Structures are given as C-alpha cells and as structure tokens.
Homo-oligomer: A and B are copies of this chain.
C-alpha cells in the first residue's frame, strides 16, 4: 500500500517535472502560456481530489486506492514533453521508470502504468460503454476524475480566465461558453463516466455548467438594444 509520505514524494516529483519540462519546452503553446506548469499542477491536484471522492463512494480497497492515487498524480507528467496525442503513453513510461527506481512492487507499477496509459486513449472511435469495458477499474476511475475537472465551475472558471486573457468581454462569453470548446468538450466527455459515484458528480457539475450559462443569458444582454415598451 502506498503511504501518505509516498504520495507526497510522487507529487513532489511530478510538480518539479512539470516545472522543469515547461521551462525547457520549445512547444509554442507552452511558451505562450507563462504559468502552464502551475496550471497543470493545480489540475493534477484537482484530479487527485476527484479520485478520492470516487474511491470513497465506490468503497475501493486500499490496493485500488493506492494505484489510483499514484496514477492521478502521474497522469499528465509528460504534458510538456510530447504531443498531446501520445501524452498518456509517455506519462505511463515516466511513471513506470519513477516507480521502479523507487522500489515499488512490480504488480503495483504495472497497474499504475496501465491506468495512466488508458487515460490517454483517443475517445470517440468506440462508444462509451464499450470503451469502459476495455479499461481497468483504476483506469476508469482516473479518467472519470480527470473528466470531472472539465465539467463544472472549474471548467467555467478556466474558460473565463482564458477568454479574459484574450480580451473578451462579458457579452461575448455566453456565446463562447455555449458554443465554444469548453461546452463541447464537457458535453462530449460526460458520457465517458462509468462508476455510480462518478456519474453523480458528473451530472452535478454539468448541471452547474448549464445553470451558469442560463444565468448569464438571463443577466447579460447580447443584442444592440433590448426590446422596450
């Protein structure tokens, strides 16, 4: 079983790895996003916290929880070192190397590595239900925890912070949120959730996203002059 100190050590490794690889990256999107490492470390912590909720709700064993905790911390470690399409596989290789070097048991290393690789699967070609059947239980929980960070107030916040950086104003936001990639991504991803606990959290969060849009639409006029008289 993984101890709290080991969680802290893995977290420290990931945080440093993100920081150093972002600083030395020659990818254009990384260079134009000055706090990319902070952002992805924060996302990593959110995913770990989401995973804890699923583990508790599903009554996971300590062994399952240990695999998911390590996988959650390591799932995006390669974010700045490779193309996004292969970040699951590359992260799983970095995870495997780290865990072997630190003497974790072989079965544990393999389960973590597998879950991390699975979260990077290209979703879409296979229907959600069938896709879930191809994943390990730990891989499903990791993917759910990852997706939960893209469905609710956190997703709205990240989208608005990004739009603010682009100089958008409030009346452009509801259109961008409702029709843009933040909503499309949330709407697509929420089907890739399989556990009862994950489903409950996903519906709560996606409902909040919709409620935010509805309130914005209620409050912010997006036409030249509203009808009067």
CB within 8 Å of B: which residues of A?
2-4, 7-8, 11, 34-35, 38-39, 42, 45-46, 48-50, 52, 65, 69, 148-149, 152-154, 157-158, 160-165, 167-171, 173, 205, 208, 212, 215-216, 218-221, 223-226, 228-229
Contacts and interface: CB of A to CB of B under 8 A. Distances in A.
Given A149-B219, A221-B45, A228 B4 contact: yes
A153 B69 CA distance: 35
Contact of A215 (B65, B153, B160, B173): B153
Q: Interface residues of A: mostly helix, strand, loop or mixed?
A: helix
A25 to B, nearest CB: 18
Contacts of A228: 4, 7, 48, 52, 69
Copies of this chain in the oligomer: 2
B173 A221 contact: no
Contacts of A38: 169
Given A34-B167, A169-B42, A154 B4 contact: no
Contacts of A165: 164-165, 167
A157 B164 CA distance: 9
A38 B45 CA distance: 37
B161 A173 contact: yes
B215 A11 contact: no
A131 B228 CA distance: 29
A134 to B, nearest CB: 28
A169 B33 CA distance: 11
Contact of A219 (B39, B46, B164, B216): B46
Contacts of A39: 169-170
